[in-house]
Amino acid sequence: MSTVRPQVAPFLDPDTETWSYVVYDHPGGHAAVIDPVLDFDNKSGRTSTDGAQRLVDFVREQALTVDWILETHAHADHLSAAPFVRDAVGGRIGIGEHIREVQGIFRQVFNLEKQFLCDGSQFDHLFSEEDTFHIGALTGRVFHTPGHTPADMAWLIGDALFVGDTLFLPDVGTARCDFPGGDARTLYRSIQRLLALPDSTRMFMCHDYPPAGREHQCETTVAAQKRGNIHVHEGISEEAFVAMREQRDATLEMPRLILPAIQVNIRAGQMPPAEDNGVVYLKVPVNRL
């Protein structure tokens, strides 16, 4: 593992409370962009790249070469801006290989066109458990962390772990497991693998939903999670976690943008093909989710 300590620039999307990151070795060096967000106004169906432009501007200001644009999973709460970032500053779009299962599930839900392939070929690269990759002087290692979805990945870059939707900050807990293909027991086991990393490992969240009185934050450590995560601190058993998670998930509404987000994100952030009038449509399956 690389001993270079990566620099991490966080960017909050306030609308969906998503954290995106630019991770890099040094100014003028190499970078990865993690989980960039495309703004989407559900009321008008209009997209905007204003949020993702902040990441692009940062990459240019720091004179970084983008090697990778990494998705921790096919997000259900926001649309990915990965193609916009790639067009602006380069990089290859990577996700976990189990995205194929997620594509298979939602191809049926949305009755997608025959040409839509469930082979992950919409992405530039599919990562597998224990793969390594490089960002300039930094080494990355891949953890397959299913549970929230079948395809979740956590990216360990130097001492910085990008956990996606496995863990939230200690006072918020863990991600839901009730989406198609999700499973609370599987998530518990994925989390235990992350908590087995060295105590000083920095953990960067994909989301923060701060309780009243606290500002949005993005960073904690393995030690702090083991000591204080309200859902999975040390001593909470698998059975207790599963019971808590399933009970809690039964009370949660679907995320506001799940229907548009999934349709776009399983295409690596591309929109579906335009119809014969040149307009792109996103579908709403009635009584299906």
Residue ranges binding Fe ion (CB under 5 A): 75, 165
Smallest distance from Fe ion to CB 125, Å: 20
CB of 139 to Fe ion, least distance (A): 26
A 10 A CB-CB count for 63 gives 10
Question: Nearest distance from residue 2's CB to Fe ion, in Å?
Answer: 27
AA letter at 181: G
Cβ nearer to Fe ion, comparing 7 with 166: 166
* 212: exposed, middle or buried (Cβ count in 10 Å: 0-12, 13-18, 19+): exposed
Beta bridge partners of 70: 34, 94
Beta strands in 1-121 (DSSP E): 7-13, 18-24, 30-34, 37-41, 46-48, 65-70, 79-80, 92-96
CB-wise, 74 or 135, nearer to Fe ion?
74
Q: Taking the complex as a whole, how short is the minimal distance between the CB of residue 51 and Fe ion, in angstroms? A: 17
Tell me how far, at minimum, the Cβ of 255 lies from Fe ion, in Å. 8
Contact 250, 178 (CB under 8 A): yes
Nearer to Fe ion, 142 or 257 (CB): 257
> Which residue's Cβ lies closest to Fe ion?
165
Element of type H or E holding 161: strand 160-162
Which residue's CB is nearer to Fe ion, number 52 or number 88?
52
Q: Which residues pair with 142 in a beta bridge?
A: 155
In the DSSP assignment, the letter for residue 167 is B
The smaller minimum CB distance to Fe ion, of residues 6 and 173, is found at 173
Please give the Cα distance from 177 to 172 (Å, whole number): 15
C-beta separation of 23 from 160 below 8 A: yes
Give whichever of 101 and 165 is closer to Fe ion, judged by the CB atom. 165
Least separation in angstroms between residue 37's CB and Fe ion is 12
